[in-house]
Structure 1
C-alpha cells in the first residue's frame, strides 16, 4: 500500500534496523569496557613484572627477593643468587682459608661476570681454581699485564677463563669469562695469614663486604686561553686512579634483600687446650672433638655478606702462651715464625709522663646509622679517661674540618665537659676528606718533650686514596704516635693497620656498641703504659732475612711477630728491647721450633709489605720496590698489585659469532650503614652533566644536594648512581579507573538509547 508523501516501512524492517542500532552501541560499549579493564590491568604492571623479571630486564631497585643483577646493554637481568662458601683451617699460628664463589647465568646470553670482594689485608693469595662441569682448571701466577692479556684473549676465543687481581691489599676482583646460558661456574681461591693475638686472646677476621669508598677527584689547577698566547691546562694526578675497580654497585637495602649468601666453617686447631670461643657478630654452633679442637659453623647456615666475621678464642689456662716458635722447610730454605709477648711493667714501678692526646672523629656520611653512635660513645669514654695533667683537643671532619680548641688545652673538668657536649652534638653527613684532618692532628705546635704526644683517630676508613694518607703520615708524624680505631661492621683494615704502623701506634676495632668499653679500655691500656722500644733480633749461627725489616714498637699485650728466611736452622735468635726505662731480652733456641704450615708464604707476603712501606717512606725508589715485589710474588706464587692469577679452559665453549656481554655483581651495604648518609639525598632539582662532574658524595657518587652543602668537594664522573626505584603505577591506576568508569557510563547510556522505541 502506498501513502503519498512518505514511505512507511513494515514491522519487520523496523525491527531489523533497531537490532542493528542496539548491536552497534553494545559493541561500542563493550569495546570501551575492554579498554577500561586493559588500562586498569596495565596499571598493575610493576607488581606482575616482578615475576617476569626472572627472564626480562629490570632496574636494580625493582628487585625484591635478594637476587643478583647482571648488567647488560639493555639494563639489568635478574640473576640467581651468588653463593659463597668459606672453609677456614687454623693450625696453631696460621690460618688457611678456601673461598668458593658460585657464578650462575640465568640469561640467554653468554656473559662475563665481574665481582669485587674483600680479603684480609695480610692474606697471601696463592691459589685459583675454576670448576666447570666435571673439569677443574688451575690458575697460574703471571705478571699482571700478561695475565690480563691471556684472559682477554681467552674471552675473545670463547674459552672459559678466570682472573684474580688485587686492587688493594684487602680488595680483590674476580673476572669470569664465557659463562653460557643457564650455566654455573665455581671459582675457588685460597690464602694464608697469621693468627692475631692480643694478650690472652687469639683471633681471626674474615672481611665479608666492602664499604663504599669516598674518592676525591683531581683538581684542575690553571688554564690560559689568552689571545696570542699558548693555552694549556694542568691537573694533579688522580689520587684514586682505580676508583671504578674498587667501587662496585651497592644495593639499596630498603628495596633489595641482602645478597651473596655466605656459609662459613672454621676448623680450629689451636695447639693448646681451649677455653672460651666466641663469634662477636654472628650466631655460631660449635663442636668439640677434643680439648684443643673446635669445629665452628654459622648457626643460621648461609647469612648475608653485610658485616665482617670475627672469631676469638682463649686458652683454658689462666694465661696464654707468651712465646711461640714454628719452622717450615721449603725449596732449600728454612722459614721461621716467632711470636713473643713482652712482660708488662706495673704502673708503680715506673714514672708516668703526662700526655697530649689529639682525638679525631670521622662524622662523614659513611659513619651514619650505628657507626656514629659507636664512635661518639668511644670518644666520650676516652675523654673520661683523661688525667688532669694531660692536654687534649678534638677534631671532627667530613668534607670539612673543625677543631674544638685553637690548640691543645688542659684536661680539666670544664674543657672535658665542653668536648663531651661537642661530641654528643655531632651528626653524620658529607664526604670523607681524611687527609686534611690527619695533617691538622699531626701539627705539633708545642713540641713540648715533657708530654707524650698521641693521636687517636676514629673512623671506618672508607676512602679510596689511602696512599695519600700514608704519605701524609710519613711526612708529618714527627714525635706523634697514631692509634687507629676502626668503627663499624666493615672497616678498611688495610688503611687502619698501615696507618698505625707508619704512625708507630696500634689498631683497635670496635664492631658494635657492646664492644665500646672493653675495646677502649684495652686501647687506653696501650696509651697509658710504656711501649717496648728499640727492638732488635740477632741470629747466632744462621744468616737470616728478617721481616719486618724495621721492627716496630710494641704496646701492652701485643706480641712481636717475626718471620725469617734462614740458610740453616741452627743456633738461636736473641730479641732485645727496652720496656720503659728497663732493658728486656729473650733468647729462643731454634732447634725447639715446632712444625708449621705456609710459613714461606707468610714471610714473602710480609716482605712485600716491607717493600710497599719502603716505597711510601721513600727508603726505596718506586722502581726498586716494584722489582722486589715482582720477584717475591713470582717466586712464591702470590697475587700482588703487580701479579695476578689466571686460569683458562683450553676448549672453547662459546659458539663463534655469539656476543659476550659484561655483567657486574652488586654487593650489600654494610650492616648499620645509612644509605642516604653515604650517597646523599636525591636532589630536588635536575642535575646537569657539568654539575655531576663537580658534585660530592661518599664512594665517588655524584650527589647535587651534597655539592650545595659542600661546594669545595668534588667527585669523579662516571661513578655509580643509585637506581631510581619509583614507578608510575599510581598514575596508571588512576587512568585505568577513569577509563573503566567512563566505559561503564558510556555503555549504560548507549544501551538505554538503543532500547528507546
Structure 2
C-alpha cells in the first residue's frame, strides 16, 4: 500500500509538472505571437517655440489571427494631434478628423470585419493621454505614424519639450531626434536623463550621457538619442518607460519682444527681463475637511512650509483653513519686513509654521463660504501702491456643506470678486471637483491645476506656487494700432499677471499682408506705476531655407498661421467653459470645431480615424469628394416643371415622381439601384448646382429577395461650394459639424438651416430654389425608423424657382408616408407610353418651355409601386 501510495504521489507530481509545462508552453506561445514593436522613431522639430513631433512605430503580428495592439500615447497637456496614418502593404491610409462618436463607430466597424484599423480619441479626464488602438491582421506589418503639435510655454525661465517613451518592451531600432531653430540666440540648453513623473526623482545637475548634442549655429540645436537594447533594459526588462526632456531658453531683453510675420499672420512673443517684482498679498485657502486626514494633510503641511519660506520682502500673507466652517489664522495680513526686521519676520514665519504643523482634518467641505471669506479679507486689507493680490485655493473634494450647486458657487464668487483678485486653484487627488476648481480659476484670472496623489504631491503644490510667486507686471494689454491688423482675429491680448520666467504670446491676422509696419502699444502696471511701451515694428518677412528636419519649407512659411489657429482654439474652448448663454456656448464650440477640422487638430471636440478598406465595401470612401460612378448603367434624366416640386430618396428602392400636365397627381416610378453606385439627382450647369446621391443597402429585403436600397450619402455642389451629408454629419467646404445642432450657416449667397432638432436641413439657394434633406435614423429605443431598420436620407425639391432650362437629373419621390400629395399608380405599359411627355408653354416668365423625358434602366426594372 505504501509503494502504491508513493507511486500515486509520484504520478501526481509528474502530472502537475506536465500540466505546468503545458501551461507555460501555451503562455510562451501566446507571448511569442503577440504583436511586437520592432522599430520606434520619434522626431521633434521645434521652430520658434512651436513643436511638431512625429512618432513612428512599426509593428508586426507573427500570429495566425488578427490581434489588437493597444498603445497609450502620452502627450504634453497642451498638445493637439495633427495627423495619423497607417502604412499597410506599401500603401498609406491617412486619418480623417471626425467627431468623436462617428470616428469610434467607424473604427469598431472596421475592427469587426478583421481589418487593420487605427483610432485616436482623447481619454476622459486625462487631458495629456491619447489612446491608439491598432488591429493588426495575421502575419501583417503595420507602420503607425502619429504627429502632434504644441506651442511650448515658458515656465520658470525655461521652454520645456517633453517626449514620453513607453513601448512596454525593448525595441531593437529606437531613436529620438530633436531639432530646434529659434529667432534669437539659444542661451540655455539641458538634456536631463530619462525620468518619470515624480519630482522627487529629478536631479537638476544630471545630464543624459547617451544624448548627442550639436550646435550648428547660435540659434539652432540638434539632439540625437539612440539607446541600445542593453541601455534600454538597464533599469527594467520591459525597456524604457519615462520622459525624454529638452530644456532651453533664448535671449530676452527690455524691448517690445519678437514679432514674427509670415504670409499675413503674426505672432508676438513678449518676455521682458530685469524688472523689479511687485509685492504681493497672498491668502492661502486650505481644505482641512475629513477627507484630508492622513498622507494628504502631511503633504499639504510640507508644501506650505516651503511656500512660507519663499515669501519676499514687502509681501503680505495670511492663512484661511476651512471645513464646515472657516478659521482665519490672523485677523490682519502679515507683512514680510526688510532684513533689518529679521527677528519680526522670523517670529511671523515661525508662528505660521507652528500653525500649519498643528492643523487637523475633520468636518465637511464648505467651498462657497471659504472663497467668499477669502475675497473679503483681501479686499479689506488693500494698501496703497502697486501690489499683486492673489488667492491660492486648495481642495481635495466636492462642496458638501453650505451652497453645493456649482453654478451658484461660481456666480457668488464672480459677484464678490468683480475680477479684482486672481484665484489660483488646486484640485488635490482623484476625488477633487476639478471642473469646479478650473472654472473658479478661469473666471477669476487664475490657473487651475491637478495635484496627483503621489509621493511628490508636496513638490507639485510648492512647484505650482513657484510659477506664480513673483509678479513682474499686472494688467498688461497689447494694442495693435495700425489699420493693417484685423482686430477681431487677435487672440487673448489682456493678461492680469506677468510672472517672472513666463511669456505672453499674442497672434492675429493682418488686414493687408503686404503692410510694411505694425504699430503696437503695450500697457500695464509695474512696481513703478503705469507704463506704456509704444513701438513701430518694421515687418521683414523671414527668408526661410530648407533645413533637415520634420517641418517642410512650406510648413515653416505657414507657422504663424498654425500658431494663431492653435491659440484661438485653446482660448475659445477655455471661454466656452465659463460661458453662461447656451447659444453662445454652442457657437463657440462650433467655431472651435470648424478650426479643428480646417487645421487638422484632434481637440476635445474631434477624433481621427483611419481604416484599410476592403474591396467592394461601401462606407470607407473619402468623405470630402463624391466617388466616381463606375457603373455602366445610364444616368436617369428628368426635366421638371418650375414652381413647387416633389423629390426624394425613398425609404426602400428609390422612387421618382413626375408631374404630368393635365393630371392632378404626380406619377410615381421605381428606380432599381445598386449599393455603392452614385446617381445624379439634379444638375443645373447654368446655376452651378449639382446633387449626387450614393446608394447604400438596408437590412430588409425587397420583393426580389434583394436588400432594399437607400440614399446613404449626398454630395451637393453650389457655385464652387461643397456640401457632403450622411446621417452622422454635415460637411461644408471641409468644415464638419453634427446634425444635433439647430444652426443657420451662410454660404456665399446661399443659406443652410438645420431644423427639426437636427432631422432636417433646408438649403435656400441664391437663385430662389429650396432643397430639403430629411434625415431618418434608427430609433435607439425601438430599433426601427418607419420599419426600415436603416439610417438614410431623403431629398425634396421644395421650390423649383430659378432653375434654368438646362436642368437635368433623376428626381426621386418620397415613399408613401412622406408624399405631399397622392400618387397615380401606373403599370409598366402605361409608363412606357409616357416615355416622351408633353411640351408645355407657360405664361409665367420664369418657366419657359419644359420638356420632361426619362429613361427606364432595363426592360424589367420598372414595376408598379405598392402603396
TM above 0.5, yes or no, is yes
Evaluate the alpha carbon distance shift between residue 437 and residue 415 of structure 1 in structure 2; reply closer, same or farther with a 3 A threshold: farther
Over residues 517-544 of structure 1, what are the superposed CA-to-partner deviations in whole Å (9 max), with x where a residue is unaligned? 9986563222xx4424344444432434
Corresponding residue for 2:249?
A: 314
Corresponding residue for 2:338?
A: none
1:286 aligned onto 2:218: no
Residues 164 and 242, structure 2, Cα contact 8 Å, conserved in 1: yes
Residues 474 and 502, structure 1, Cα contact 8 Å, conserved in 2: no
Evaluate the alpha carbon distance shift between residue 514 and residue 619 of structure 1 in structure 2; reply closer, same or farther with a 3 A threshold: closer
1:180 aligned onto 2:180: no
Give the deviation of 1:339 after TM superposition.
Answer: 0.3
Give the deviation of 1:127 after TM superposition.
Answer: 0.9
Corresponding residue for 2:578?
A: 617
Structure 1 unaligned regions, length at least 5: 1-24, 57-66, 69-76, 210-256, 463-467, 655-757
Evaluate the alpha carbon distance shift between residue 157 and residue 300 of structure 1 in structure 2; reply closer, same or farther with a 3 A threshold: closer
> What SS is found at the alignment partner of 1:311?
strand
Residues 391 and 408, structure 1, Cα contact 8 Å, conserved in 2: no
Corresponding residue for 1:382?
A: 307
> What SS is found at the alignment partner of 1:612?
helix
1:54 aligned onto 2:28: yes
Evaluate the alpha carbon distance shift between residue 343 and residue 146 of structure 1 in structure 2; reply closer, same or farther with a 3 A threshold: same
1:86 aligned onto 2:28: no
Evaluate the alpha carbon distance shift between residue 391 and residue 33 of structure 1 in structure 2; reply closer, same or farther with a 3 A threshold: closer
TM-score for both structures, normalised by structure 2: 0.52
Evaluate the alpha carbon distance shift between residue 105 and residue 546 of structure 1 in structure 2; reply closer, same or farther with a 3 A threshold: same
> What SS is found at the alignment partner of 2:497?
coil
Give the deviation of 1:388 after TM superposition.
Answer: 8.3
Distance 2:16 2:485 in 1: 85
> What SS is found at the alignment partner of 1:314?
strand
Evaluate the alpha carbon distance shift between residue 470 and residue 182 of structure 1 in structure 2; reply closer, same or farther with a 3 A threshold: farther
2:590 aligned to which of 627, 630, 640: 627
Give the deviation of 1:194 after TM superposition.
Answer: 1.8
Over residues 537-566 of structure 1, what are the superposed CA-to-partner deviations in whole Å (9 max), with x where a residue is unaligned? 444324344343453223133322011123
Corresponding residue for 1:607?
A: 568
Corresponding residue for 1:456?
A: 392
Q: Specify which structure has the higher proportion of helix.
A: 1
> What SS is found at the alignment partner of 1:450?
coil
Corresponding residue for 2:423?
A: 482
2:276 aligned to which of 334, 337, 346: 346
Give the deviation of 1:574 after TM superposition.
Answer: 1.0
Q: 5 Å matches for 1:497-536? A: 501-505=442-446, 523-526=468-471, 529-536=472-479
Residues 534 and 578, structure 1, Cα contact 8 Å, conserved in 2: yes
Residues 114 and 137, structure 2, Cα contact 8 Å, conserved in 1: no
Distance 1:85 1:459 in 2: 41
1:323 aligned onto 2:280: no
Q: 5 Å matches for 1:265-280? A: 265-280=177-192
1:170 aligned to which of 127, 131, 139: 127
Give the deviation of 1:646 after TM superposition.
Answer: 1.7
Distance 2:223 2:427 in 1: 26
1:560 aligned to which of 498, 504, 508: 504
Residues 389 and 410, structure 1, Cα contact 8 Å, conserved in 2: no
Evaluate the alpha carbon distance shift between residue 193 and residue 416 of structure 1 in structure 2; reply closer, same or farther with a 3 A threshold: same
Which one has more relative contact order, counting CA pairs under 8 Å at least 6 apart?
1
> What SS is found at the alignment partner of 1:592?
coil
Over residues 65-97 of structure 1, what are the superposed CA-to-partner deviations in whole Å (9 max), with x where a residue is unaligned? xx99xxxxxxxx976469754311112232111
2:531 aligned to which of 561, 583, 599: 583
Distance 2:574 2:463 in 1: 31
1:160 aligned to which of 90, 109, 116: 116
> What SS is found at the alignment partner of 2:28?
coil
> What SS is found at the alignment partner of 2:56?
strand
Deviates more, 1:479-488 or 1:288-297: 479-488
Give the deviation of 1:274 after TM superposition.
Answer: 3.0
> What SS is found at the alignment partner of 1:54?
helix
Over residues 228-258 of structure 1, what are the superposed CA-to-partner deviations in whole Å (9 max), with x where a residue is unaligned? xxxxxxxxxxxxxxxxxxxxxxxxxxxxx96
Corresponding residue for 2:281?
A: 355
Give the deviation of 1:501 after TM superposition.
Answer: 4.9
TM-score for both structures, normalised by structure 1: 0.58
Give the deviation of 1:268 after TM superposition.
Answer: 2.0
Residues 471 and 616, structure 1, Cα contact 8 Å, conserved in 2: no
Distance 1:607 1:318 in 2: 25
Residues 160 and 245, structure 2, Cα contact 8 Å, conserved in 1: yes
Residues 474 and 617, structure 1, Cα contact 8 Å, conserved in 2: no
Distance 1:493 1:133 in 2: 45
Give the deviation of 1:32 after TM superposition.
Answer: 2.3
Evaluate the alpha carbon distance shift between residue 460 and residue 563 of structure 1 in structure 2; reply closer, same or farther with a 3 A threshold: farther
Corresponding residue for 2:319?
A: 393
Residues 423 and 440, structure 2, Cα contact 8 Å, conserved in 1: yes
Over residues 201-254 of structure 1, what are the superposed CA-to-partner deviations in whole Å (9 max), with x where a residue is unaligned? 333244668xxxxxxxxxxxxxxxxxxxxxxxxxxxxxxxxxxxxxxxxxxxxx
Residues 360 and 394, structure 1, Cα contact 8 Å, conserved in 2: yes
Evaluate the alpha carbon distance shift between residue 391 and residue 643 of structure 1 in structure 2; reply closer, same or farther with a 3 A threshold: closer
Distance 1:365 1:643 in 2: 36
Residues 204 and 310, structure 1, Cα contact 8 Å, conserved in 2: yes
Residues 286 and 394, structure 2, Cα contact 8 Å, conserved in 1: yes
Evaluate the alpha carbon distance shift between residue 177 and residue 512 of structure 1 in structure 2; reply closer, same or farther with a 3 A threshold: closer
The CA RMSD measured in Å over matched residues stands at 5.2
